[in-house]
Structure 1
Amino acid sequence: MSEAAQFWELKPTAAEILNDVKARKIQEINAAYVATITPLVKEYPEIEQATWLAQESEARAYLAWHDNHQGGAPATPVLDNILLGRNGEDGTETLRDLSLAVLENADVFTQAQQLTGKRQRLVKAVRAAEAVEEIELISW
């Protein structure tokens, strides 16, 4: 680059610098969040994770019905198919057993959502910061 080109090169404004620092800090927070939450879900493929809400809903409905047997049993197509795969030809696991296991996992993951809230709080603080120094004080 010539000296003339360097002379006319515009330096970033304070607002641009602040926005860049904010973007980097948000990336840092998100990476820390992912690193913290990943061990809770690492053993589960994403396609299985996509069924978690259905599994939890079916498990809660089935256990509520199981406890009082009022009306007909709720439909549990996701859990029924999981149970068929888990039991194979001669398994002994029941739909109640599976439902209890699903809810145990769901409760652990629900408690872990505190981490989601923490991530959201930190990102909100970064976005509200008006100085680079404020942003530098924010950490996972």
Structure 2
Amino acid sequence: MNEAQPAWFTPPKTAAEKLADAQAAKIEQINAAYTEQVQPLIKDYPEIEQATWIAQESEARAYMAWHADQEGHTPATPVLDNILLGRNGDGGSETLQELSLAVLENADMFTRAQQLTGKRQRLVKQVREVTTQEALDGITW
């Protein structure tokens, strides 16, 4: 602190500090745009269910691979078995094959949507690498 400046004085931000603030704001904009596009794909699914998606997909792929040739033992599908119990309730008739196909259809859709994740990551990387405000302004979702 300069002796001539009062303790409450805050010096103006440097160009580097201004750019860092603008980069942080741009990353927030990119993340918001990403979320806006991805959210409709997952809006109907609670986070606790989303946490089981990897297990669901793995079990569904194993079951469908077994179903194709039915050699060996049926793979263990505890997550899908329990989902099926809940879906069928007392009188349902959905099969493990039907559930597996539904799970894989959703999994494939979410896999394709990961292009958006890659786009978000690419743009954030570009934001972090810019050295001018003009270059930063050229980065858009």
Answer whether TM exceeds 0.5 for this pair.
Answer: yes
Q: Distance in 2 between matches of 1:139 and 1:82?
A: 41
Q: What is the TM-score with the length of structure 1 in the denominator?
A: 0.94
Task: Please give the secondary structure, in 2, of the residue aligned with 1:70.
Answer: coil
Deviation beyond 2 Å, 4+ runs, structure 1: 4-9
**Structure 2 unmatched ranges of 5 or more:** none
Identity of paired residues, percent? 64
**Structure 1 unmatched ranges of 5 or more:** none
Q: Distance in 2 between matches of 1:19 and 1:11?
A: 14
Q: What is the TM-score with the length of structure 2 in the denominator?
A: 0.93
What is the 5 A alignment of 1:116-127?
Answer: 116-127=117-128
What is the 5 A alignment of 1:1-140?
Answer: 5=6, 9-140=10-141
Q: Distance in 1 between matches of 2:9 and 2:89?
A: 73
Q: Distance in 2 between matches of 1:9 and 1:101?
A: 59
Q: Distance in 2 between matches of 1:84 and 1:62?
A: 17
The structure where helix makes up a greater share of residues is: 1
- Count of paired positions: 137
Q: Distance in 1 between matches of 2:57 and 2:126?
A: 33
Q: Distance in 2 between matches of 1:129 and 1:15?
A: 11
RMSD: 1.5
